[in-house]
Amino acid sequence: MTFPALGTMGYLIGGVVLLLAAASIVGWLIARRVTSDAARDTVRNLNSRIKAWWVMVAIFAAAFIFGKAVTILLFLAVSFYCLREFYSLTPTHPSDHAAMAAAFYIFLPLQYWLVWIDWVTMLTIAIPVYSFLALPVLSMLKGVTADYLQRVAKIQWGLMLAVFCISHAPALLMLDLGGVPPVQLLFFLVTVVQLSDVLQYIAGKLFGRHKMAPNVSPSKTWEGLILGGLAATAVGAALWWITPFSPLEAAGLAFAIVVAGALGGLVLSAVKRSLGAKDWGVMIEGHGGALDRMDSVTFAAPLFFHLVNYFFAR
Amino acid sequence: MIGELIVAATRLTVGGHGLWIGCAPSEKQRIYFANHSSHLDTILVWAAMPPHLRRRVRPVAAADYWGKGRLQRRISLGVLNAVLIDRQTRSSDPLEPLKEALAAGDSLIIFPEGTRGTGELPSAFKPGLYHLAKAFPEVELVPVFLDNLRRALPKGSLLPVPLSCVARFGCPIQLEAGEAKAAFLDRGREAVVGLA
């Protein structure tokens, strides 16, 4: 084996494909059995998640085969759709047109270009500093002061969540981790986030008694969070061998991902509800939009990136 | 071919998802009347229709914009099969080309405000819709609300921001027997506002 990494990622993706194939078959069988409306909703939700994962696995396979450029382009597309969903739901004024155009046509490509050229410092300040200063200027120039602070805050928030936060997932590819190919860390992050989401959902459906935040996200329960989160942490620990971490460190980082992901899901749910919507969009056949599937990644990715960059990167 | 490209480009940039709330897409002869806030409105309503309806649904467009340049003429006449009307001249009946199209059995997309508005809700309707409803009582009048376009491409800007814009199609209305012009136009406007 001249390319040990090729073997590892090949097995990982192959393993996920087998797991998903099994999940798809089980989901299809259950969908034919269930009779009650509530159960049908649950199964439909699970099956739509499984479909979304097929897309993600395809993205990973493509990223693995075609390398960094394709990975960055795919995440750029994800950011584009998330930003579009966020701004479409967010009421802005026509005079914010220039600020939103700058967000889409300048800051979105700029952020991913910074990932491409490995400029970590600028990556971490381009949106929090430069867009934070520039976009309010563009909105102010039109001279409409009604709801001005709300409007500029919403535009900056959309850019932070959909572009800044999500770009930290492909930014993992910049890190020098000794012998470990950084794409395996991206795999670690996305696997733990997504498993945590679904395990919390399943554990919540099976054992959920105590609602965690009934006003924000009525389906989330403490039982789901704890059991699902612990299971996802255990899976993360079991994946230590694809990372530069020891098993204990892998568990700790997986735990950080789980907590950040759960909080990110709740925060985005609160934002969504304050905008009066149930789903961010209709991208995945009536089961929510891109941002509904990326909500936990938005919080987990920057935290994971900085923890790894600080403690493990050279 | 060019039509499909335009629809694809519209979908990618501003969405153009059609939500049929008050009626289903149908081959019936109809006048779709919508709020008007951007140059993309015409293409958006057209793109929101199922492909088989697009051939017989003709947008009504202002000759002073869509009939001017070569590209505009190519798109408006060649692809959209638009009915161009002259907003300036007062000499002849400006509705004449619309009546011809309706008499030929085509459906129309019109913007009864006459010009692009800047407010959140449509401004008062011009009387054209009333005259058409009176001359063609059997044609269904379908209100349409175009959401988000005023933010995606407001008046005076050239670059569309890629927000997802939707076209909501409402319940058809009719001109009641003996209904006054102003009352009917108000009711038509309310039908569009009701979809906002």
Residue A198, pLDDT above cutoff 50: yes
**Residue ranges per domain, chain A?**
1-66, 69-167, 178-314
Interface of A with B in 232-291 (CB under 8 A): 281-282
Residue A240, pLDDT above cutoff 50: yes
How near does any CA of chain B get to the CA of A148, in Å?
15
DSSP assignment of B51-102 equals HHHHTTEEEEEEHHHHTTSHHHHIIIIIIS-PEEE-SS--SS-TTHHHHHHH
Dihedral pair phi/psi, residue A112, rounded to 5°: -75, -25
The confidence score (pLDDT) of residue A205 equals 85
> What whole-number distance in Å separates Cα of residue A185 and Cα of residue A259?
18
CATH superfamily ID and name for B2-193: Glycerol-3-phosphate (1)-acyltransferase (3.40.1130.10)
Answer yes or no: are the C-beta atoms of A212 and A228 closer than 8 Å.
no
Note whether A87 contacts B161, CB cutoff 8 Å: yes
The confidence score (pLDDT) of residue A286 equals 44
Confidence of residue A2 (pLDDT cuts 50, 70, 90): very low
| Element containing residue B33 per DSSP (H, E) | strand B30-34
Note whether B161 contacts A88, CB cutoff 8 Å: no
The confidence score (pLDDT) of residue A62 equals 79
Q: Is the dihedral of CA A54, A60, A66, A70 positive or negative?
A: positive
> What whole-number distance in Å separates Cα of residue A204 and Cα of residue A39?
14
Residues of B in contact with A95 (CB under 8 A): 154
Tokens of A177: 């981790």
Answer yes or no: are the C-beta atoms of B169 and B21 closer than 8 Å.
yes
Dihedral pair phi/psi, residue A211, rounded to 5°: -65, 140
* B13, closest residue in chain A (CA to CA): A84
Poorest-confidence range of A45-54, A128-137, A150-159? A45-54
Given A92, A97, A105, which is nearest B157 (Cβ)? Answer: A97
The confidence score (pLDDT) of residue A1 equals 37
The confidence score (pLDDT) of residue A3 equals 46
| A87 at interface of B, judged by CB pairs closer than 8 A | yes
Q: Each residue of A165-178: pLDDT tens digit?
A: 999 999 999 999 88
> What whole-number distance in Å separates Cα of residue A55 and Cα of residue A67?
17
What is the DSSP pairing of strand B83-85 with strand B15-20?
unpaired
| Element containing residue B25 per DSSP (H, E) | none
Residue A280, pLDDT above cutoff 90: no
Angstrom CA distances, A6 to A1, A18, A186, B121, stand at 9, 18, 15, 58
Beta bridge partners of B144: B34, B169
Note whether A94 contacts B154, CB cutoff 8 Å: yes
Give 10-residue mean pLDDT values along chain B (196 residues): 82 84 91 90 88 88 83 84 80 84 94 82 89 93 91 85 90 91 94 91
Interface of B with A in 108-127 (CB under 8 A): 118
Residues of B in contact with A94 (CB under 8 A): 118, 150-151, 154-155
Mean pLDDT value across residues A121-136 = 96
| A80 at interface of B, judged by CB pairs closer than 8 A | yes
Given A84, A93, A101, which is nearest B159 (Cβ)? Answer: A101
Mean pLDDT value across residues A188-193 = 93
CA nearest to A183, candidates A3, A6, A2, A1 = A6
Answer yes or no: are the C-beta atoms of A261 and A297 closer than 8 Å.
yes
- Where on the phi/psi map is residue B114: left (φ > 0), alpha (ψ -120 to 50), or beta? left
Report ipTM (2 d.p.).
0.78
Confidence of residue A118 (pLDDT cuts 50, 70, 90): very high
Strand order in the sheet with B15-20: B15-20, B165-169, B140-147, B30-34, B107-110, B57-62, B83-85
Radius of gyration of chain A (CA): 20
Poorest-confidence range of A45-59, A151-165, A209-223, A232-246? A45-59
How near does any CA of chain B get to the CA of A305, in Å?
29
